[in-house]
């Protein structure tokens, strides 16, 4: 019995990985199309990113820079897959425990560290600069994000993502966190943090192709770059899902039955798509910040906005 349960879990894990990559690559392609339309261009077909990955994975030579370089990709992809397992997708969560809202924050840091390892092993100075910028970015967007998370935890009196989602889905759209005034401003801060997590403009400082030759990815080519694109696709899904779980009720609109699960899945898909389109539109209309500007933006303005919402929530709870 245990073995069967294990097998089912592994099958679901593989399904998650496939869904994550497919949805992510599709979104990235659509994002490129949207950016092209904003630039008044025709743009590539929406399935362009699938072709890109297929091409990269079929390259004949793939230069490695030692075993740490190889391990870095494993680090990134396994870290982001583990994050995806802990996130409720349309209300369904594969792994859960008390305090997984904190755990997800830690797990989201693993891929960045993997990146740092790989870039360090490649020995390219551009990669070093890129990794340093990526770590500073992480430090800056995590402060407002953690404050908004704490506000949510205080309001719902829990540290479990599943409970946060469940509490928000009691009364449909009306009970979503984003409908409450303190969480409206918290959602703004969290969305800006999401922009940094997704490394879209104006926060694409770590990869900045025209400045530091795409930063940590500078020595990645062939199959390595292909797997990195897969990682990026899964990361896109995981990070937008985190926002949807925290503020938009995880996309849960119906409660019991198989039909409800399917509908919830598609609502979740629609919500993360909307979120991604929003971030792409911001990306298409703003130029890149410098690193100290981004740091100042997050720690001065976003952190204050998040703190206001935290205080507001605290007062609401005490009453």
Partner 1 sequence: MGLHNGDKMMRYEEWSKLARKASKKSLWMVHFCTGCGAVEMPPVMTSRYDAERFGITSMATPRQADVLLITGYLTVKTLRRVIQVYEQMQSPKYVIAFGSCTINGGMYWDSYNTIKHLEKYIPVDLYIAGCMPRPEGIINAFIKLMKLIDEGKARGWEKYQKYYDRYKENQRRVFNFEIKEEQKEEKNEEH
Q: Which residue, 149 or 228, has its beta carbon nearer to partner 1?
A: 228
First to last CA, the chain: 49
Longest dimension (CA), the chain: 66
Q: Which C-beta is closer to partner 1: that of 123 or that of 172? A: 123
Binding segment for partner 1 (CB under 8 A), chosen from 142-150, 205-213, 240-248, 307-315, is: 205-213
Shortest reach from residue 122's CB to partner 1, in Å: 9
Nearest distance from residue 123's CB to partner 1, in Å? Answer: 13
Please report how close the Cβ of residue 217 comes to partner 1 at its closest, in angstroms: 7
Stretch that binds partner 1, among 8-16, 147-155, 209-217, 252-260 (CB under 8 A): 209-217
Report the nearest approach of partner 1 to the CB of residue 53 (Å).
9
Q: What are the φ and ψ backbone dihedral angles of 36, each rounded to 5 degrees?
A: -65, -40
Region near partner 1 per CB under 8 A, out of 16-24, 175-183, 217-225, 286-294: 217-225
- Measured CA to CA in angstroms, residue 208 lies from 3, 126, 127, 129, 220 at distances of 47, 10, 11, 11, 15
Nearest of 208, 189, 96 to residue 148 by alpha carbon: 189
By C-beta, is 88 or 206 nearer to partner 1?
206
Q: Which residues contact 33 (CB under 8 A, 6 or more apart)?
A: 43, 44, 45, 46
- Which residues contact residue 147 at a Cβ distance below 8 angstroms, ignoring those fewer than 6 apart? 189, 303, 306, 307, 309, 310
Q: Does 214 bind partner 1 (CB under 8 A)?
A: yes
Structure tokens at 152: 């949510």
Show the CA angle centred on residue 190, arms to residues 187 and 192, nearest 5°.
Answer: 110
Q: Are 247 and 278 in contact (CB under 8 A)?
A: no
Q: Which of residues 22-51 bind partner 1 (CB under 8 A)?
A: 32, 36, 39-45, 48, 51
Among 1, 2, 5, 60, binds partner 1 (CB under 8 A): 60
The number of residues that bind partner 1 (CB under 8 A) is 31
Does position 125 bind partner 1 by CB under 8 A? no
CB 193 within 8 A of CB 277: no
Alpha helices in the chain, H assignment, sequence order? 2-38, 48-57, 67-86, 100-122, 125-156, 161-168, 181-197, 209-212, 223-247, 258-285, 291-296, 303-318
Which of 71, 109, 113, 213 lies at the binding interface for partner 1 (CB under 8 A)? Answer: 213
Rounded to the nearest whole angstrom, what is the least distance from the CB of residue 260 to partner 1 in the complex? 39
Q: Give residues 61-120 in contact with partner 1 (rule: CB under 8 A).
A: 61-63
Q: Nearest-5° angle of CA 280, CA 282, CA 287?
A: 110
CB of residue 50 vs partner 1: minimum separation in angstroms?
9
**Minimum distance of partner 1 from residue 62's CB (angstroms):** 6
Q: Which residues lie near partner 1 (CB under 8 A)?
A: 32, 36, 39-45, 48, 51-52, 54-55, 58-63, 209-210, 213-214, 217-222, 225
């Amino acid at each position: 019995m245990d073995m069967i349960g294990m097998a089912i879990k592994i099958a679901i894990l593989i399904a998650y990985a496939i869904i994550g990559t497919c949805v992510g690559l599709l979104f990235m392609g659509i994002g490129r199309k949207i950016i092209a339309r904003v630039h008044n261009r025709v743009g590539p077909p929406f399935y362009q990113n699938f072709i890109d990955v297929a091409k990269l994975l079929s390259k004949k030579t793939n230069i490695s820079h030692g075993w740490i370089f190889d391990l870095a990709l494993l680090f990134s992809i396994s870290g982001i897959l583990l994050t995806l397992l802990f996130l409720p997708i349309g209300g369904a969560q594969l792994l859960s425990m008390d305090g997984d809202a904190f755990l997800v924050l830690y797990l989201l840091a693993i891929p960045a560290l993997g990146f740092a390892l790989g870039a360090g092993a490649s020995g390219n100075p551009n990669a070093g600069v890129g990794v340093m910028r990526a770590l500073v970015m992480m430090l800056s967007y995590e402060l407002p994000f953690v404050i908004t998370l704490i506000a949510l935890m205080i309001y719902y009196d829990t540290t479990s993502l599943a409970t946060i989602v469940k509490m928000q889905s009691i009364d449909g759209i009306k009970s979503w966190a984003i409908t409450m005034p303190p969480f409206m401003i918290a959602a703004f801060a969290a969305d800006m943090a999401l922009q940094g997590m997704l490394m879209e403009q104006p926060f694409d400082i770590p990869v900045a192709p025209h400045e530091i030759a795409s930063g940590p990815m500078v020595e990645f080519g062939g199959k390595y770059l292909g797997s990195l694109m897969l990682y990026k696709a899964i990361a896109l899904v995981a990070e937008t899902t985190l926002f949807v779980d925290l503020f938009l009720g995880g996309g849960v609109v119906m409660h019991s039955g198989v039909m409800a699960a399917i509908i919830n899945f598609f609502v979740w898909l629609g919500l993360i798509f909307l979120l991604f389109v929003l971030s792409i539109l911001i990306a298409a209309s703003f130029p890149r910040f410098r690193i100290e500007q981004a740091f100042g933006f997050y720690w001065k303005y976003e952190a204050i906005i998040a703190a206001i919402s935290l205080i507001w929530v605290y007062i609401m709870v005490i009453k």
